[in-house]
Copies of this chain bind each other. A is one copy, B any other.
Amino acid sequence: MTSAVHLELSDIRVAVLDPDSPVPLYHQIEEDLRRLIKEGAAPSDSLLPPEIVLSQAYNVGRHTMRMALARLAADGLITRRAGRGTIVKRQPDRTRFLLDRSFTRQMADMGRTARARVLEQRTGTIDENSPDVFAVHLGSPCLVLNRLRFGDDEPVGIQYSTILTEHCPDLEKYDFNQSGLYDVLAREYRLTVKEIQHTITATVADAEQAELLQIAVGDPLVVVRTTTFLDNDQFFEYTTSLYRADKYEYSTRHTYAA
């Protein structure tokens, strides 16, 4: 069974490439290919045209084309094999991953009501004490927002958030006791989160955390470190969440990597 080349080169919008843009060419190409895959012009299991042909279609060097393809491969959208070609991978069925959403939405999906009590809310700037993910944003204005989260009036977790406010000035004026963070961002700033990255581990509660969560010191907590990205893969927000292990579990499902 050989895969035919399905992608029509005419679908490639060379016009969108702007050599004078601050966005690198390989990134513009990467985005265009993501669009083609997403919109079905390059369906799953189809073979992409070879590098050299693509590079001519986009009117760039092979090296630039390879950088774009390498990023797509690293992200799992395509598979490349010498001698074979570049194949669009079957996209995982994301609809099963129902927990990849805001706390408010998660609780609503479970038929519970999400609430928040703001523990701290202040503006600041990114400094060298910030987590590593902020390294390239030193000096940028940000909002620090620490909240105790409830599900049906029962304390479930504590969230320590740092949000870059370059794209959402005056974010600090909102009352996050009343509104969810993502709700405000969408309604007031038209900002939509595109991707969420989680890192999960465990810890035990200290005195302060135990007091807030109404559990005992030393009880287990699930640690979820969350990094969110906007449409253009721009880093946006970092949150460390501590959830009561007796009230929280995280579920996901993967295709096995042979």
Contact = CB atoms under 8 A, between A and B. Distances in A.
Interface string A175-204: 000000000000000001111111111111
Interface residues of A, number: 48
Interface in A236-254: 245, 248-254
A221 interface: yes
Contact of A248 (B79, B196, B201, B258): B201
A6 interface: no
Contact of A245 (B81, B203, B258): B203
A207 interface: no
A57 interface: no
A252 to B, nearest CB: 5
A195 B253 contact: yes
Interface in A71-98: 74, 79, 81, 89-90, 94, 96-98
A90 B197 CA distance: 18
Interface stretch (A11-19, A21-29, A99-107, A116-124): A99-107
B199 A250 contact: yes
Contacts of A98: 257
A138 to B, nearest CB: 10
A258 B98 CA distance: 11
Tallying the copies of this chain within the complex gives 2
Q: Which 5 A-B pairs have the closest CB atoms?
A: A202-B202, A100-B254, A202-B245, A202-B220, A201-B249
A198 B132 contact: no
Nearest to A106: B257
A125 interface: no
Interface of A: 74, 79, 81, 89-90, 94, 96-101, 105, 132, 135-136, 192-204, 218-223, 228, 245, 248-258
Contacts of A249: 199-201
A220 B203 contact: yes
B221 A202 contact: yes
Nearest to A136: B81
A125 to B, nearest CB: 17
Contacts of A195: 253-256
